[in-house]
């Protein structure tokens, strides 16, 4: 008897491709995405962090630090405004680059850094410290740059580090003897990066042992919190979660709008009024879009009331992004509803697609956690563009015109999806 039940279950499962996909394919897809993001598949898969470096000191030490950072595998350093040869970054343009999201971190090597280092080593008494301009919407990048900066400080200028230390020693313990001075002068060149005695500036060698446990003075400056958008990080979660559920509701709504009507016969009845499929789809799309706008508005209002999301100070940008996102989600819902033959098919297929798009597109966790390859793949989902747009509005206080790439992509998606849905809906036209 149990064998019969097993046979029934097996036959049902074998013939239900959607159930098979949900059972085996979806877990594999998700496992792969999460493993790629959080597990890593080797160092070469780790995302490189874009940073700006501003050298206000122009000393040998600052130059060596900048060069050391540039050679770090985990960093992609830019020293000019647009990353190409041209105007060098200054503090203001570097801060703007962080604010606009071009780079998550900028390292400012302030004037007198080299002098301070030469005089004081790493004691930081002079109060001259490196500034790390950061955007805390990406909490990983500043920490990573901070760590690499410490390492580079040690490995890029061990000779200068020792020289500063000796100077401190002489200040407090008395001058070295001529013999000691001679010996030190002969030793110090060997500490220079590339001299072979104590590591190099390629980031692979160790620092001078005498510097162990010391740290360069670094001040982390959150450039985003310097403004009035405190609490705006909530917008990331609101956007990510909102877009994911918008997709779910749009697909379900479109399924209800088309497949359910086709099954119930109301679609046939509607078409018999000569309204035409194009007008029918347009009506469904507008309804789904309005529903999506309402859904996101309610969610952001809740975020405003409970979590202090600054919705009312960003209304124009919010509505532009919400309209663009909701219209694209509605159009995608129509594509899936016209593609599927049954609601079961739609449900299974859309679950796989929406969850995958949400994972890759940054709705579940920030895309900066992903490898560069996955980040690029994520750009094929409109979640990524929608979330980026909301972040521009709420986090970066970007003016409306700066939303054009996101709006353009979302509107393009809408047009393509609507055209695809219209083509797929031909099966409901006269046979």
Partner 1 sequence: MTDVLTVRGATKSYGATRALDGASFELREGELLALLGPNGAGKTTLIRAISGRVRLDAGEIRVFDRVLDGRHTPKELGIVPQEIAVYSMLTARENLEVFGGLHGLTGGDLTRQVDWALEGTGLADRAREPVRQFSGGMRRRLNIACGVLHRPRVVLLDEPTVGVDPQSRDRIYDLLAALAASGVSLLLTTHHIEEAEARCARTVILDHGKVIAAGTTPELVDQTIGRFRFVSLRLNRPLPADAHAQLGSRPGVALDPADAALITARLTDVATELPPLLEAIRTSGGTVEDVDVRGPSLQSVFIHLTGKDLRE
Question: For the chain, first and last CA: distance in Å?
Answer: 47
- 183 vs 264 by CB, closer to partner 1: 264
Nearest distance, CB of residue 427 and partner 1, angstroms: 12
Cβ nearer to partner 1, comparing 125 with 269: 269
Owner of token pair 């347009």: 282
d(CA 239, CA 245): 10
Residues within window 152-191 making contact with partner 1, judged by CB under 8 A: none
CB of 270 to partner 1, least distance (A): 7
Contact between 87 and partner 1 by CB under 8 A: the answer reads: no
- Closest C-alpha to 153, from 65, 213, 222: 65
> Which is closer to partner 1, CB of 134 or CB of 338?
338
- How far is Cα 365 from Cα 137, in angstroms, rounded to an integer? 12
Choosing from 29, 270, 379, 411, the residue that interacts with partner 1 (CB under 8 A) is 270
Q: Which of 58, 269, 426, 427 binds partner 1 (CB under 8 A)?
A: 269
E strand intervals along 298-382: none
Beta bridge partners of 108: 54, 131
Question: How far apart (Å, rounded) are the C-alpha atoms in residues 429 and 431?
Answer: 6
CA atoms of 306 and 360, how far apart (whole Å): 28
Q: Could you say whether residue 425 binds partner 1 (CB under 8 A)? A: no
Tokens read off for 62: 């600052």
Could you please report the per-residue DSSP string of 15-57?
H-HHHHIIIIIHHHHHHHHHIIIII-SSGGGSPPEEEEEEESS
Closest to partner 1 by CB, 180 or 266: 266
CB of 284 to partner 1, least distance (A): 14
Name which of 196 and 276 has its Cβ closer to partner 1: 276
Could you say whether residue 341 binds partner 1 (CB under 8 A)? no
Strand 75-78 relative to strand 49-55: parallel, antiparallel, unpaired?
parallel
C-alpha dist (Å) from residue 271 to 259, 276, 378, 417: 14, 6, 39, 22
The separation between CA 350 and the C-alpha centre of its own chain, rounded to angstroms, equals 24
| Residue count of the chain | 431
Residue 336 and residue 348 in contact, taking contact as beta carbons nearer than 8 Å: no
Residue 337 or 357 with smaller CB distance to partner 1: 337
Query: How many chain residues interact with partner 1 (CB under 8 A)?
Result: 14
Minimum distance, C-beta of residue 269 to partner 1, in the bound complex (Å): 4
Q: Cβ closer to partner 1: 107 or 337?
A: 337
Among 42, 213, 274, 306, binds partner 1 (CB under 8 A): 274
Binding segment for partner 1 among 67-75, 164-172, 199-207, 262-270 (CB under 8 A)? 262-270
Residue 266 makes contact with partner 1 by CB under 8 A:
yes
Cβ closest to partner 1, residue 67 vs residue 270: 270
Among positions 264, 286, 298, 315, the unique one binding partner 1 when judged by CB under 8 A = 264
Residue 308: φ, ψ to 5°: 75, 25
Q: Which is nearer to partner 1, 271 or 328 (CB)?
A: 271
Could you give the C-alpha distances from 22 to 244, 349, 378, in angstroms and in order? Answer: 18, 8, 21
Among the residue ranges 88-96, 222-230, 259-267, 329-337, the one whose residues contact partner 1 (CB under 8 A) = 259-267
Name which position in 42, 273, 306, 401 contacts partner 1 (CB under 8 A).
Answer: 273
70 and 77 Cβ atoms separated by less than 8 Å: yes
272 contributes a contact to partner 1 by CB under 8 A: yes
Max intra-chain CA distance, the chain: 105
- By CB under 8 A, which span of 137-145, 178-186, 207-215, 265-273 interacts with partner 1? 265-273
Determine which residue in the list 268, 294, 342, 423 makes contact with partner 1, applying CB under 8 A: 268
Query: Rg of the chain over CA atoms, in angstroms?
Result: 29
Residue 291 beta carbon to partner 1: minimum distance, rounded to whole angstroms: 15
Q: Does 4 bind partner 1 (CB under 8 A)?
A: no
Token couple for 425: 């809906």
286 contacts partner 1 (rule: CB under 8 A): no
How far apart are the C-alpha atoms of 397 and 391, rounded to whole Å? 8
Which pair of tokens denotes residue 411? 């509107």
Given the complex with partner 1, which of 44 and 263 has the nearer CB atom? 263
User: Which letter does DSSP use for residue 72 in this model?
Assistant: -
For the CB of residue 391, give the shortest distance to partner 1 in the complex, in Å. Answer: 38
CB of residue 415 vs partner 1: minimum separation in angstroms? 26
List of residues contacting partner 1 (CB under 8 A): 263-266, 268-275, 430-431
């Amino acid at each position: 008897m149990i064998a019969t039940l097993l046979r029934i279950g097996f036959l049902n499962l074998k013939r239900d491709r959607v159930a098979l996909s949900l059972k085996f394919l979806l877990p594999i897809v998700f496992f792969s995405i999460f493993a790629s993001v959080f597990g890593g598949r080797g160092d070469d898969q780790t995302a490189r962090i874009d940073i700006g470096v501003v050298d206000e000191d122009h000393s040998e030490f600052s130059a060596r630090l900048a060069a050391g950072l540039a050679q770090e595998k985990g960093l992609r350093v830019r020293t000019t405004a647009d990353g190409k040869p041209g105007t060098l970054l200054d503090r203001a343009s570097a801060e703007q680059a962080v604010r606009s999201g071009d780079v998550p971190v900028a390292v400012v090597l302030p004037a007198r850094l080299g002098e301070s280092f030469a005089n004081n080593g790493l004691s930081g008494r002079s109060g001259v410290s490196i500034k790390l301009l950061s955007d805390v919407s990406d909490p990983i990048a500043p920490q990573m740059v901070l760590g690499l900066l410490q390492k580079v400080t040690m490995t890029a200028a061990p000779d200068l580090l020792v020289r500063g230390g000796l100077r401190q020693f002489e200040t407090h313990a008395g001058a070295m003897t001529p013999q000691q001075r001679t010996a030190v002068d002969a030793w110090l060149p060997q500490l220079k990066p590339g001299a072979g005695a104590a590591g190099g500036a390629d980031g692979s060698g160790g620092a001078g042992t005498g510097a162990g446990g010391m740290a360069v003075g670094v001040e982390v400056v959150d450039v985003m919190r310097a403004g009035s958008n405190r609490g705006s990080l909530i917008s990331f979660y609101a956007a990510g979660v909102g877009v994911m559920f918008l997709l779910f509701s749009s697909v379900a709504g479109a399924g209800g709008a088309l497949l359910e009507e086709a099954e119930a016969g109301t679609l046939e009845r509607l078409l018999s009024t000569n309204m035409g499929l194009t007008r029918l789809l347009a009506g469904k799309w507008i309804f789904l879009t309005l529903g999506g706008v309402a859904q996101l508005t309610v969610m952001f209002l809740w975020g405003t009331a409970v979590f202090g999301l600054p919705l009312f100070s960003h209304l124009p940008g919010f509505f532009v992004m919400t309209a663009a996102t909701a219209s694209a989600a509605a159009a995608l819902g129509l594509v899936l509803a016209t593609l599927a033959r049954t609601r079961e098919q739609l449900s299974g297929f859309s679950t796989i697609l929406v969850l995958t798009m949400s994972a890759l597109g940054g709705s579940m966790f920030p895309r900066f956690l992903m490898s560069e390859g996955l980040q690029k793949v994520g750009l094929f989902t409109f979640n990524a563009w929608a979330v980026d747009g909301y972040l521009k509005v709420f986090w970066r206080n970007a003016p409306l015109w700066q939303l054009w790439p996101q709006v353009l992509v979302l509107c393009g998606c809408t047009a393509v999806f609507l055209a695809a849905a219209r083509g797929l809906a031909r099966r409901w036209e006269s046979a």
